[in-house]
Amino acid sequence: MNDKHAAARLRTTLVERLRLIGSVRTEAVAHAMSEVPRELFTPGSTSLTEAYRDRVVVLSVDERGLPDSTVSQPAMVALMLEQLAVRPGMRVLEIGTGSGYNAALLATLVGPTGEVVSIEVSAELAGAAARRLAGLGVRVDVRAGDGWEGVADRAPFDRIEATVGVPDLPPAWVEQLAPDGVLVTPMWLRPGLELAIAWERAPDGTLTSVSVTRCGFLQLRGPHAGPGRTHALTGDLAVIGEDLPPAALDVLRELLDHGAVDAGPVLGPVDTRLTGFALAEPRSVLFLGHPGDGTTWGLFDPKLPALAVLMRDRILVYGDRDAAVELYYGVAGAPVVNAERLRVEAVPVGTNFPAAPASAGRSWTVERDHHHYRLTEI
Ligand SMILES: C[S@@+](CC[C@H](N)C(=O)[O-])C[C@H]1O[C@@H](n2cnc3c(N)ncnc32)[C@H](O)[C@@H]1O
C-alpha cells in the first residue's frame, strides 16, 4: 500500500474515532477532515502514524525550549469547527495560522464561493504555511502580523476563529464580526479554567456564548500578550495565577523557601469543586511541579503574606495560617461546576450586564481590561 492510500485509511479511522468521542458531529466537518491530508502540515520528522494520532504536534519552540506553535489536537480542531458552524460561501478569519492545517479545513468548509483569511504572528510560519497551502491549491489569504488587530481590510467576517488563547476579547475581533456572525475563541478565565467559547453579539454589544467546551491552548504572543499567567518560580516549579506581578512572585518564592506547616485535612472530595473554587476566589493559584505531587491548587495572598496549598487530602500552609482556613472553607463551600453548562456573557468595560433572568443559576464575574465576563450556571 502506498503512502497516499495509507494516509487516507488513517484519516478515515481518525474521523470515525472523533465521531465516536463526539468531537465530529456534522457531515460537513467529517468531510473536511477526511479531505485535508494532516501529514502534509506536520514537520517532516513526523511519521504518518503520528500525524494521525489524536495528539498535538509541535511546530516550533521558543528560546526556553517551550512550544510556541503547534498543529492542534484533531479532537479540539473538530470541536471548535463544530462550534464555528461554517457554511459554504462564508468569509472566515482565522487567528493563528500555524501550519495552515485548520485554514485548509476552513477553506474546504467555505468552498469555492467563500473566503478564508488567516493571520500568524511569526513571519516565518506564515510564509511556510502560505507556500504549503498554495502548493496544495488551497485558496487562503495568509497574512503575517499581530492577530490581536484582526484583519480590518477584509472585515466584516461571518466567522472568526482564534486558534490561540486570550485572557480578554480583543476589541478588533468584536468590531470585525458581521452582525449575525460567530466568534470562537479559547479563553483563559481562571487557573485551570480555559474554555473554547462560541460567541454571538447582540445589537447592544453584549456577547453571549452559544456553546462552551473545556480546552487548553497556547497563549497569544506579541505586543498584546500581556503579563502572561504562567510564571517560573524555581527549578521546574511554575505557578499559574490571575494577578502575579514580579513583587508578588518574590513574596511567593520567599514563602516557599521558609517551608510549610501541615494545617490538617481538607473536607470531602476536592477535585470536583476546584472549578467552583477558582471562579469564586481570584487569589486561587495552580502549581505545576512540586509543592505536592504534579499539579497542586492553592490560595496565595501576598498581602498576608501566605500561601496554602492542597497536598492530596491535606492543607499545607506557608506564612500566615489564616490562608489555610480560607482555603479550607473556600474549597469545602465551593459548588460542583460543570464548565460545559456555563453561559458566558461579555460586556465592554464601562457597560452593565443585561438583567439576569429570574431563573438564572449561580453566577461569577471575571474582570479584564477590555471586557467584563459573567459566567452563569444553566
Ligand atoms: C495552536 S497554534 C495554531 C494551530 C494552527 N491553526 C494549525 O492549524 O496549525 C497557535 C498559533 O498562534 C500563533 N500566534 C500566537 N500569537 C499570535 C498573534 N498575536 N497573532 C497571530 N498569531 C499568533 C502562534 O505562533 C501559533 O502558530
What's the 118 CA to ligand 1 centre distance in angstroms? 10
Ligand 1 touching residue 147 (CB < 6 A): yes
What's the 96 CA to ligand 1 centre distance in angstroms? 3
Q: Are residue 198 and residue 285 in the same domain, yes or no?
A: no
Q: Are residue 172 and residue 97 in the same domain, yes or no?
A: yes
Best of 36, 69, 184 for a ligand 1 pocket test (most atoms within 8 Å of beta carbon):
69
Domain annotation covers residue 165: yes
Asked if residue 305 has a cis previous peptide bond (ω within 30° of 0), the answer is yes
Domain annotation covers residue 305: yes
Domain annotation covers residue 115: yes
Cell of 178: 458581521
Q: Are residue 75 and residue 176 in the same domain, yes or no?
A: yes
Ligand 1 touching residue 173 (CB < 6 A): no
Domain annotation covers residue 29: no
pLDDT tens track for 79-100: 999 999 999 999 999 999 999 9
Domain annotation covers residue 132: yes
**Rounded alpha-carbon distances, angstroms, from residue 274 to 146, 254, 271, 301:** 34, 26, 6, 18
What's the 28 CA to ligand 1 centre distance in angstroms? 24
CA 4, CA 224: separation in Å to the nearest integer? Answer: 41
> So what's the pLDDT on residue 205?
85
Provide the domain limits for residue 118. Answer: 61-214
Q: Output phi, psi for 295, to 5 deg.
A: -85, 130
Ligand 1 touching residue 74 (CB < 6 A): no
Ligand 1 touching residue 42 (CB < 6 A): no
Q: Which atom of ligand 1 is nearest to the CA of 102?
A: 8
Residues in the chain: 378
Q: Is 230 exposed, middle or buried (0-12, 13-18, 19+ CB in 10 A)?
A: middle
Which H/E stretch holds residue 269? none
CATH number at residue 162: 3.40.50.150
Q: Output phi, psi for 366, to 5 deg.
A: -130, 125
CA 344, CA 305: separation in Å to the nearest integer? Answer: 33
Q: Are residue 182 and residue 130 in the same domain, yes or no?
A: yes
Q: Which atom of ligand 1 is nearest to the CA of 101?
A: 8
What's the 339 CA to ligand 1 centre distance in angstroms? 25
Q: Are residue 236 and residue 303 in the same domain, yes or no?
A: yes
Q: Are residue 142 and residue 269 in the same domain, yes or no?
A: no
The per-type count for the chain, helices as H runs and strands as E runs, is: 10, 19
End-to-end alpha carbon distance in the chain? 51
Which H/E stretch holds residue 135? helix 123-135
pLDDT tens track for 240-266: 998 899 999 999 999 998 889 999 988
Q: Are residue 120 and residue 162 in the same domain, yes or no?
A: yes
CA 163, CA 116: separation in Å to the nearest integer? Answer: 14
Distance of CA 119 to the CA centre of its chain: 18
Q: Are residue 116 and residue 170 in the same domain, yes or no?
A: yes
Q: Are residue 116 and residue 210 in the same domain, yes or no?
A: yes
Q: Are residue 203 and residue 291 in the same domain, yes or no?
A: no
> So what's the pLDDT on residue 311?
85
> So what's the pLDDT on residue 290?
62
124 φ/ψ sector (left φ>0, alpha ψ -120 to 50, else beta): alpha
Ligand 1 touching residue 122 (CB < 6 A): yes
What's the 69 CA to ligand 1 centre distance in angstroms? 6
Domain annotation covers residue 366: no
Domain annotation covers residue 119: yes
> So what's the pLDDT on residue 312?
80
Positions marked catalytic: 72
Q: Are residue 98 and residue 178 in the same domain, yes or no?
A: yes
Ligand 1 touching residue 161 (CB < 6 A): no
Q: Are residue 318 and residue 257 in the same domain, yes or no?
A: yes
Helix, strand or coil, per DSSP, at residue 62: coil
Torsion of the alpha carbons at 221, 66, 82 and 279, rounded to the nearest 10: -80
Please name the amino acid found at residue 205: G
pTM for the structure as a whole:
0.94
Domain annotation covers residue 300: yes
Q: Which residues of the chain have pLDDT under 70?
A: 1, 290-295
